[in-house]
A and B are shown apart, each in its own frame.
Chain A
Amino acid sequence: MSVAEKRSRACEKFLAKVHNITGKEGVTPSALHAIKRKLVGLAKKTALFPRADFEMPAAQGRNHPLLVEDGDGLGLYLTINMPGKEAAPHDHGIWCVNAAISGRERHDFFRRTDEGETPGRATVAKVGEVLVEPGHGMAMGDHDIHGTVVVGREPAIGLALYGYALARFPSVVWYHPEFSSVRATPSRRRALAG
């Protein structure tokens, strides 16, 4: 069996475990924690994810679909982000679990501190951080807010599981402490439906 076939089987098996977990208890914090442990286990099987099988980013960040379910199904990706690649604090509207294969990415978690009285304005405060490195992962719920940055000199290569495939994401809401602003990207789900 080729590495690609082994990888495909391992991903299918992993997703079956995810459905088993969420089928029993829904998408709860403990379910996300259990899914994270499974994803960390999959990411440890580094022989399934040889670098040669995945194109490096043309710029500094790239997502490779590993297993994307139809409709409103789950999306499992291999992500490659180069040193310095960052994402401002954002809420992608759907839960997500990450685990590192190699390299290190810091996830900073935030909570909104204003009441949303003024359109386009928002303030957030950092409430925690997790370093996603080999043997570790992170899990976040539907409307948690996180920002990311690749630390160190190595590319951060990891697995990411989302409650929806990336192409079917709800609108992503971005927070900018520097500007005290909040902005939303259009819903990709609506764009697909249109």
Chain B
Amino acid sequence: MELSITQENFARALSAVGRVASNKAGLPILNNILLRTDGNRLLVAATNLEIATTQYIGAKIVKPGAITVPARLISEFVSSLPKDTIELKVVNDNIHLKCGNYTSIINGVIADDFPELPTINEESSISYTINVEDFKQAVSQTIITASSDSTRPVLTGVYWHSHEGQLFLAATDGYRLSERRLVETKSDVSAIIPTQTLQEVLRTIADTSETVDILFDETQVRFRINEAEIISRLVDGNFPDYRQLIPASSETSAVVNKQEFVRVTKIAGLFARESGGSVTMTVDPDKKTVSLHSIASEMGENTSELTAEVQGGGQVTLNSRYLSEALSVIDDDTIAFSFSGKLSPCILKSVKKDTNYYHVIMPLKS
């Protein structure tokens, strides 16, 4: 195998796939990155047997071939090099890298031992092409409410599913839930994509990307962004039927300015550290205000108020961190929230007419 390649392209590809390389599965070769020529391109790939990421980069191929190299060493070496052309040559399983005055020989392992990268049959799969901005927003809006508790695996991912002709994303950790409507769909989909996979996709999206191609089959999903590809397993299991939990109507509702609401939440949170983030929200229909109250038993207490459009009065106790996180992902200057008493879920969303996102937080039992 012999080829030349630009340092910029090579470094970018290595850093993108290098994160996935790990020895979690106990197979030493998974610490390595696969380099393989493919026509006039170089394939750079890594896998941890849950995700496989692949990057194709343009290269001048002199002699085709394949080899694997320790991920960490080659990534760090290549990223430290100046912007120049790198000449890569494999001699007896050793990779000779030359870039200007810098020469390295890295011991490789033959590519035969590297796991085959899974492929997906495009004919029998369902595909979507989604605008990068929509994708990024939708995933970041839902991923924050996914659980990290491995004892309930179905909650550790984002649930992509079709419902009444639309594709929805939903995630819950049992204490809060978020749902985002993404695009129209004619096919029926129901798949749980692991959180780590989506994080990896988000990281892979570059400024120049415009669309994300997503392909589902029964057990796997593939994302394609420009020349990069991420294939991942899906979480096995049924996502809970969360729709029945969302209350259709509510006793109390208020519309507030987001910026002000973010500020009072942050302030109330300062005094709620001791009590595990518990802040009490009171909606006063006479004064037309929403107030947040929190107590730190040894330090002091805080009450902040903001004016709002109010319907009905009531009180509910929430975790300030959940509230802050919800506010940070709702894309609007004004926010509507509603609840019915101390025990039923509190719903937050934008006031836009065709709002496609809502966030639900369970109150704290106080």
B and A form one assembly: no
A residues within 8 Å of B by Cβ? none
